[in-house]
Amino acid sequence: MPKLSERVGTFTDSVIRRMTRISNQYGAINLSQGFPDFDPPKVMMERLAQTAYEGPHQYSITYGAKDTREAIARKQGRNIGRQIDPETEIVVTCGGTEAMMSAMMTIVNPGDKVMVFSPFYENYGADAILSGAQPIYIPLVPPEYDFDIDLIEEGFRQGAKAIIICNPSNPCGKVFTREELTAIGNLCIKYDAFAVMDEVYEHMVYEPHVHTYMSSLPGMWEHTITCNSMSKTYSITGWRLGYVIASAEVIEGARKVHDFLTVGAPAPLQKAAVAGLELPDSYYENFRRMYTEKRDFFCHGLDQLGLKHNVPEGTYFVMVDISDFLELPQFKDMTDLEFCEWVIKNVGVAAVPGSSFFREDVNHLIRFHFAKSMETLEEVLGRLKKLADLLAK
């Protein structure tokens, strides 16, 4: 057998996506990989059906169909408070995943340092390896998930080319404040570096928290590369539609990377997505209200079961503290991954082991998502009672 690249030996498959496979194998309710069990907006499904007959069925322009880019520019221009040029400042990608990868490939030379918060969304680890970046980890310290700005300045002093910020943050639900983003942004300007933003949860921000767009802060347009996705906002994770917004210079590079990675995002799905991008503001208000209800319902249910957890400020993720379980004889010396597998098999609910998000040695947190119908969440809480009862004994 000829040897494979050293690169593929340096990272594992995604634990998040692996948990989905294990969950399916045991017929569990899957609260591991975040995706909804409800439909996208009806207008999008109707547009998709119509597109099946009217087309397009062939390649779109590699960096995104014109009407899709224009619709993104209108929507995000409103949000960011800046006119975005769909001809030069956007590239449509295959999901937020490719958006992040293209951004990294565009700015990183092998050996360049890039700062990543820990906990982090696990893709960033692989993005760093594939692009040749050397990650510098900046702890987000629980329970508030605060960070030390001096560590970030130190990272830039060591020559970091960029900092990756997931805002709102997967998996810890942190919403970065304007002050925090301004402080980081000022360092990006001072050290002439990029902020690579992953803003896929921008519309899942719970009151009183508000989403601040890094690219909208003074002087930050040229220093920000915003990666985004339509998966979460329109409940279409399987459509694989994302985009990058940045200055024309960055986008010119990102378009080349994207062209040779995937040629383009699926043309019929881009067409149907326009119907979503054109939805009025009330859609996003209702969307936020819906997820606020789910968050409150799920967190309240966990409280009633006596399961310790954080209350996310944004995203659809909750971290549950399993320390008390790991004290019980049946779980002694188990890793969080083994614990999650036990819960899948014996309780019928899938979560993601927290260790896959942390640089530090963390074994006592597991991540659930609540992008499910109320009935599903109710069923999950009923099942989790079996788990909680183990502590009562």
| Residue ranges binding ligand GLN (CB under 6 A) | 16-17, 33-34, 97, 121, 170
Within 10 Å of residue 78's Cβ, how many Cβ atoms? Answer: 12
CB of 182 to ligand GLN, least distance (A): 26
Nearest to ligand GLN of 96, 185 (CB atom): 96
CB of 241 to ligand GLN, least distance (A): 12
Tokens coding 310? 């954080």
CB of 244 to ligand GLN, least distance (A): 16
CB of 230 to ligand GLN, least distance (A): 13
Cβ 281 vs Cβ 273: under 8 Å: no
Nearest to ligand GLN of 126, 217 (CB atom): 126
Burial class for 77, CB neighbours closer than 10 Å (0-12, 13-18, 19+): middle
CB of 116 to ligand GLN, least distance (A): 15
Task: Select the residue whose beta carbon is closest to ligand GLN and give its number.
Answer: 34
Nearest to ligand GLN of 232, 255 (CB atom): 232
CB of 170 to ligand GLN, least distance (A): 5
Cβ 138 vs Cβ 149: under 8 Å: no
CB of 366 to ligand GLN, least distance (A): 13
Nearest to ligand GLN of 20, 79 (CB atom): 20
Nearest to ligand GLN of 121, 325 (CB atom): 121
Cβ 246 vs Cβ 93: under 8 Å: no
CB of 3 to ligand GLN, least distance (A): 29
Nearest to ligand GLN of 51, 131 (CB atom): 131
Nearest to ligand GLN of 126, 193 (CB atom): 126
CB of 42 to ligand GLN, least distance (A): 24
Nearest to ligand GLN of 155, 354 (CB atom): 354
Pick from 310, 358, 366, 303: nearest CA to 124: 358
DSSP-derived pairing of the beta strands 90-93 and 352-353: unpaired
Nearest to ligand GLN of 51, 118 (CB atom): 118
